[in-house]
Amino acid sequence: MELVKQARAHVSRLDLSAAQAARLDGQAHAARAVWNLLHAYFTFRQGRFAMLKDCDAAIRQARHEIDWMGQLPAQAVLKAYRQAWANFFNPDHPAGRPTFKARFRSRLAVDVPQARDLQIKRLNRRWGAVNLPKVGRVRFRWTKDLPGVTKGGPAGRITGARLVKDAYGWTIVFRVECEVPAPAQRSGPSVGIDRGVTVALALSDGTMREHGPWLSGGERERLRRLEKKAARQRRARTPGEPTSRRLARTNAQIAKARATAKRRALDWQHQTTTELATGFGVIVVEDLKVMNMVRSAKGTVEQPGTNVAQKAGLNRAIAGEAWGRTVTLLEYKTADRGGQVVKVPAPGTSQTCHECGYRDPGNRAGSVFACKNPVCGWVGHADTNGAINIVNAAGTAVSGRGDLAVGRSVKRQPPRAA
């Protein structure tokens, strides 16, 4: 049986004391400062990019001259910085160009590159313990067996970890590498998925995957009150003065409420994409440029935009659905099961009738699609029509990931009635 290496991440919540959390905060800010120094040295040194060996030498020298540089594995920051440039130059990777990290707009993170430093041990059914550099022994929530730690657990090894802070506190992300049997290739069934705002996911088989609000009515009202409270506190703050403790506390409460919504959205996406990857062998989606779709409509002083408020609301709705993350989850889950995600060109899928191929912007009115071709006259849900067009366009795929050949034509599906 052929075995393949599978790299995954396992996230667990850390149980830190106030002193340990403060030390991790200090390490994360130091790592951010090292990143910014590296970026300045790498991009502005004598008007050209510096060599990585020069960056490594500069870091080693700085660790002897600057005290706080010794409080974290600075070489790990260099490794992450180098990988960021590699992702940027990789045409198949969506990463942007590395830039400076702002203090209040960047996520705090500390990398632990060596797994041998962790010394992971399970304490009981619910908790495990791990060693963190410069912090000490820390408990973490045990939610899943880790390879190489417990007897009879999954085969594999832990290659390192990354500590990440969000509104709920610090978490540890274990980098896990396992050898699993190569999945058997699957050629079908195939399905097209139309991503939307009113309907989250519309499938070409006529079904839909929808969700309710991520926050309850009471939670949304509390978030609204907190945002109004923060606005009042910002207006009362004298420009140039540091943020008051009250405003910082209000901002933390807002961040926690939004993090709750994000966690629920991610949980729904994981469950839904797992169901789709298990049920279908070939999943066809549109090749959407989401970053271009959510650009602001304000325009410039010379050419101001129109319907700015409506476009801003649409941008928030698109960002809340996280269309790109949905495809990312589908790609690796279908590949694990021997399937494939195929991307097809997006233009025309929502305006073309799947029955007769007649294309007209007037075919669609909201969620209703009514073909203007007098010979056809098909009427049905607009998102379902778009999903059928998407799966029928699989032969013109622009990209594909999985065990099937990239760009391989998928058997076109016959038109389906509403």
**Residues 275-327: tens digit of each pLDDT:** 999 989 899 998 888 777 777 777 766 777 777 788 888 888 888 888 889 99
Tell me whether residue 194 is one of the annotated catalytic residues.
Answer: yes
Contact 218, 373 (CB under 8 A): no
For the segment 249-269, the average pLDDT, to the nearest whole number, is 94
Reference 173, options 14, 22, 30; nearest CA is: 14
- The one catalytic residue in 111, 205, 355, 383 is 383
Contact 23, 134 (CB under 8 A): yes
- The one catalytic residue in 286, 331, 355, 403 is 286
**236 CB-near residues (< 8 Å, 6+ apart):** none
Tell me whether residue 286 is one of the annotated catalytic residues.
Answer: yes
Reference 277, options 322, 194, 339; nearest CA is: 339
What confidence tier does 155 reach under pLDDT thresholds 50, 70, 90? Answer: confident
Rounded Cα distance, 172 and 69, in Å: 22
**Residue-range domain boundaries for the chain:** 3-181, 190-211+273-402
Q: Is the dihedral of CA 276, 277, 278, 280 positive or negative?
A: positive
pLDDT of res. 411: 37
Tell me whether residue 287 is one of the annotated catalytic residues.
Answer: no
Q: Which long-range contacts does 242-251 make (Cβ < 8 Å, 24+ apart)?
A: 250/226
Q: Which long-range contacts does 180-185 make (Cβ < 8 Å, 24+ apart)?
A: 180/3, 180/4, 180/6, 181/1, 181/2, 181/3, 181/4, 182/1, 182/2, 182/3, 182/4, 183/335, 183/336, 183/337, 183/338, 183/403, 184/338, 185/338, 185/403, 185/404
pLDDT tens for 364-386 read: 888 888 888 888 888 888 889 88
pLDDT tens for 46-105 read: 556 767 777 778 777 777 777 777 666 777 788 888 888 888 888 777 778 888 988 878
Q: Note the pTM of the prediction, 2 decimals.
A: 0.82
- The one catalytic residue in 194, 205, 355, 403 is 194
For the segment 146-158, the average pLDDT, to the nearest whole number, is 79
Residue 209: how many other CB atoms lie within 10 Å: 18
User: Pairing state of beta strands 169-181 and 127-132?
Assistant: unpaired
For the segment 31-46, the average pLDDT, to the nearest whole number, is 81
pLDDT of res. 17: 92
Rounded Cα distance, 344 and 348, in Å: 11
